[in-house]
Amino acid sequence: MRVVMLSKAIVVGAYQRKLEELACLPGMELIAIAPPSWRDSRGEVQLERVYTEGYRLLELPVALNGHFHAHFYPALPRTLQRLQPDLIHVDEEPYNLASWQAFRWAAAHRCPALFFSWQNLLRQYPPPFNWIERTNYSRAAYAIVGNKEGGQVLRAKGYSGPMSVLPQFGVDPDLYQPGVAPLLERPPGARLVVGYAGGLVPEKGVDLLLRAVWQCNQRLAAEGASGCHLVIAGTGPEQVALEDLARRLEIVEQVTFLGKISSIAMPAVYASMDVLALPSRTTETWKEQFGRVLIEAMACRVPVVGSDSGEIPNVIADAGLVFPEYDPAALADLLIALAQQPVLREHLAQRGYERAITHFTQARIAKQTYAVYQQVLQSAGS
């Protein structure tokens, strides 16, 4: 089967490992198309060629780079005409212009196509994106959604075709594993090193994490105990405001901003943490769609704490701790418990590791995706 995957997400090198796993499955000829770079609120990521064995990774110039809904690939139709795929995997939301391009070509050439969606909020889009969405629903042979609520949203919006709930990417246990040398030396006197990785944007709630660390340290200091040190990996428009908040809370010396870290260097960052926290907050236009850093940390045997925004509780299950979103005091309670109970940290680290290796490896997700391809092609040929 010749499968063409269109995906801007695979500019991140670590994500390409799933493609290698797909490519080695029986009968697979995989051709992946990605832009030379992709821009979002965290900055611009150049295409990383890290895991490229067994498949072709093509760069295709993208117009309106950074415009999530409106970006498209001027050369996509003639590229698909040259490649002549048996199946197109549109690794994009169904309301994007790039998705419409791919589905239009697929419909004209009777090539089955599927899409991927993270969208877990029931939102109505203005023209032309609502028209694009409805058209792509009618043309899609299958849908993959990254979370349970995403499936409910698709049904509510009128998609009636076959569907599976399946993460977009997993973790590579050869990269994300325990025992990696830490990137940072342990801060002197830190009882607990708390970490965050991701975009410095309002919806990720990093300001809540700063306040939780402040509360945690105040309460531990009152007991004569040493406190937490916070390590923040990532960039984004909130960085200056977060640095200012750390100064106002007088915890500057207890916070380290690492800036942008490449995907393949992240295991060393996780190795520098005693716990990873993901304090995402739901807004009118967004709630946590998965929280990939959770499974990365779990695979590195780092215990995780997350808010109850969106898919986080389903990702963590019983392998970590969950607190009510928007509640830094509740998060501080959990951090104190982890600081005071090394046995609890060890227990959660092991449970998280087992969960990541059992459910969220790139190889497992590749096999599940491959099964979807087989089902789509079987249905198209019947």
Residue at 177 is within a domain: no
Note whether 30 and 159 are same-domain residues: yes
Res 32 pLDDT > 90: yes
CATH code, domain with 201: 3.40.50.2000
Note whether 164 and 287 are same-domain residues: no
Note whether 282 and 244 are same-domain residues: yes
Note whether 81 and 93 are same-domain residues: yes
- CA 114, 284, 70, 66 torsion-angle sign: negative
Residue at 181 is within a domain: no
Measured between alpha carbons, how far is 146 from 166 in angstroms, rounded to an integer? 5
Residue at 284 is within a domain: yes
Task: pLDDT band for 182, please (50, 70, 90 cuts).
Answer: very high
User: Tell me, what's the pLDDT at 225?
Assistant: 82
User: Tell me, what's the pLDDT at 382?
Assistant: 62
- Where b means 16+ CB within 10 Å and e means fewer, 327-361 reads bbebbbbbbbebbeeeeebeebbebbbebbbebbb
Q: Look up the domain containing 289 and give its range.
A: 192-359
pLDDT, tens digit, 9 for 90 and up, residues 82-97: 999 999 999 999 999 9
Residue at 267 is within a domain: yes
Our count of domains for the chain comes to 2
10 Å CB burial of residue 206 (0-12, 13-18, 19+) is: buried
Q: What is the pTM of this model?
A: 0.91
Note whether 24 and 94 are same-domain residues: yes
Note whether 32 and 124 are same-domain residues: yes
Note whether 289 and 347 are same-domain residues: yes
Note whether 348 and 366 are same-domain residues: no
Note whether 16 and 115 are same-domain residues: yes
Residue at 176 is within a domain: no
Question: What are the φ and ψ backbone dihedral angles of 196, each rounded to 5 degrees?
Answer: -135, 140
Residue at 27 is within a domain: yes
Beta bridge partners of 197: 233
Residue at 343 is within a domain: yes
DSSP state of 72: B
pLDDT, tens digit, 9 for 90 and up, residues 35-70: 999 998 777 889 999 999 999 999 999 999 999 999
Note whether 38 and 81 are same-domain residues: yes
Residue at 131 is within a domain: yes
- At 146, which amino acid appears? G
Note whether 212 and 344 are same-domain residues: yes
Note whether 44 and 143 are same-domain residues: yes
